[in-house]
Amino acid sequence: MRRILIWTCVALSCSTLAAQDINDFNSFLKQESKSFDDFLDEANRDFLNFMRDPWKQLDSKKPLVKRMEPEPIKPVVYDEKGTPKQDKPTQLSIEEIINLSTGEDNQTPVMTSTDVDVIDFDFPTEKPAKKKKPTVIVIDEINTVSNPKEKTPSEPAQPTEPATSAKPATPTTPAKSTASATPTSPLFQGGEGRMKINFGGTQYYMKSSLKGTIRLSGIKENNVADAYERLYKTDNAEVIRDMKRVQSDLSLNDWGMFTFVRSFSDASTGNANESVVMQHFLLSQLGYKAKMARKADNSGLMLFLATDCIIYGHPYVILNGTKYYYFNGTKSCNFFMCTQDAPQAKTAVSMKISQVPSLKGSSVSSVHQATGSSAKVEASVPTALIDYYK
């Protein structure tokens, strides 16, 4: 009995210590999370303060023109009909050869025709080809009577089993990308507090907490900073999660994510300037590098995007060795830019396409037929996919 009481006390003390350790670990996580949030809040406040400072005046670089490689020189094709055939070589006499040589360099001949007649030159004659003597093969006869060899009857060939052909491999279909969002989630079904977005031929119901948040009274530094601060104070975590689900569901690369952010921002704001502010905010929250600028004539806001490759035909600016491109224009321009990086912006937008996006909607069909062939091939491509590649 005493032994049972001892073990009971030990078990109770261990459980108490384990519970205390779990509580200590949870409190540690909460403390670290709070310190990280405080750090982000402090970094966001610093970014807002920098945004209120006068923006730097810059000039964009001229759009890069893609170098056109010269076409390869076409090979010369022999035309049997148009090319004259060469005449067969003619045989000249000695006198004709002498007359040709003296006529070109105006030299007097050193031989006369009479001298030429005396000299005997035989015309070349064709040498008959030597005939090869046939090789005679002598086969000695074998006396099969005097030394007969007993032939052992050959054993009958054992029947062999027919070789079994290898079974054809069962064709496997490539695995489709599994969507992180299920059709039963509010992202597809909608509900209170959600707004419909049609992108890539699919309807999504995004969280509408950011809709109508921005109301710009101007496009000066303080106006933009005030709108940005309102976005910071709004609950945007679920919006970011929905966007990442859409990216996984449609297999979008970084550029596809940017186009979705642009569509969402256009639907959540009242004009182009407000859309630029929201695009910059969402792209920064997603970790992409972007810059906001104001046109020199104060006619509107601009969005510059950092990419991992060269973009032709669009103006750009270089900041700290990174190129930021303006995709809504094709000519160089002058502007005022907020050059400070947002706290979460770390990477450039990647243009690499590792898999074909799963875009749906209406399709464009075309029939292709090779010259001289009766076979026809019909190809159908979704319109959204064509616009995506453009």
- Model confidence pLDDT, tens digit, residues 216-272: 999 999 999 999 999 999 988 999 999 999 999 889 999 999 999 999 999 999 999
| High-pLDDT (> 70) share of the chain, % | 66
- The answer to whether the CB of 70 falls within 8 A of the CB of 359 is no
What residue type is 31 in one-letter code? Answer: Q
Nearest to 332 by CA among 308, 302, 309, 310: 302
pLDDT score of 79 more than 50: yes
Angle, CA of 92, 97 and 102, to the nearest 5°: 160
Residue 183: per-residue pLDDT: 61
When pLDDT is cut at 50, 70 and 90, the band that residue 179 belongs to is very low
- The answer to whether the CB of 314 falls within 8 A of the CB of 327 is yes
Domain ranges of the chain: 56-64+181-359, 360-390
DSSP SS3 for 120: coil
Helix 2-52 × helix 221-233 angle, to 10°? 160
- CB-CB neighbours of 90 under 10 Å: 6
Check residues 303 and 367 and name the one with the higher pLDDT.
Answer: 303
Q: Tokens 């948040």 appear where?
A: 213
Residue 61 has what DSSP assignment?
A: B
Cβ-Cβ contacts under 8 Å for 195 (sequence gap 6 or more):
205, 206, 207, 208, 211, 267, 268
pTM of the complete model beyond 0.75 = no
The mean of the pLDDT values for the chain is: 78
What residue type is 36 in one-letter code? Answer: F
- The answer to whether the CB of 206 falls within 8 A of the CB of 194 is yes
Determine the Cα–Cα distance for residues 385 and 201; give it in Å rounded to an integer.
10
- The answer to whether the CB of 214 falls within 8 A of the CB of 274 is yes
Determine the Cα–Cα distance for residues 110 and 108; give it in Å rounded to an integer.
6
Beta strand pairing status for 56-59 and 363-369? unpaired
Q: Where are the alpha helices (DSSP H) in 154-253?
A: 186-189, 221-233, 237-250
DSSP SS3 for 203: strand
When pLDDT is cut at 50, 70 and 90, the band that residue 29 belongs to is low
Mean pLDDT, residues 1-11 taken together = 61
Cβ-Cβ contacts under 8 Å for 253 (sequence gap 6 or more):
350, 351, 352, 353, 354, 357
| Total number of residues shown for the chain | 390
Classify the phi-psi angles of 134: left when phi > 0, otherwise alpha if psi is within -120 to 50, otherwise beta: beta
Residue range 351-385, pLDDT digits in tens? 998 888 888 878 888 888 888 888 888 888 888 88
Nearest to 348 by CA among 320, 312, 306: 306
CA 350 to chain centre: 9
Mean pLDDT, residues 106-122 taken together = 53
φ/ψ of 179, rounded to 5, equals: -75, 140
Strand-pair partners of 196: 205
Angle, CA of 104, 109 and 113, to the nearest 5°: 120
Mean pLDDT, residues 114-141 taken together = 60
Stretch (H or E) spanning 257? helix 254-268
Strand-pair partners of 319: 322
Across 31-40, 131-140, 146-155, the highest mean pLDDT is recorded for 131-140
Write out the E strands in the chain: 56-59, 194-199, 202-207, 290-295, 301-306, 316-319, 322-326, 334-337, 363-369, 376-382
DSSP SS3 for 288: strand
Strand-pair partners of 337: 56, 293
Residue 97: per-residue pLDDT: 78
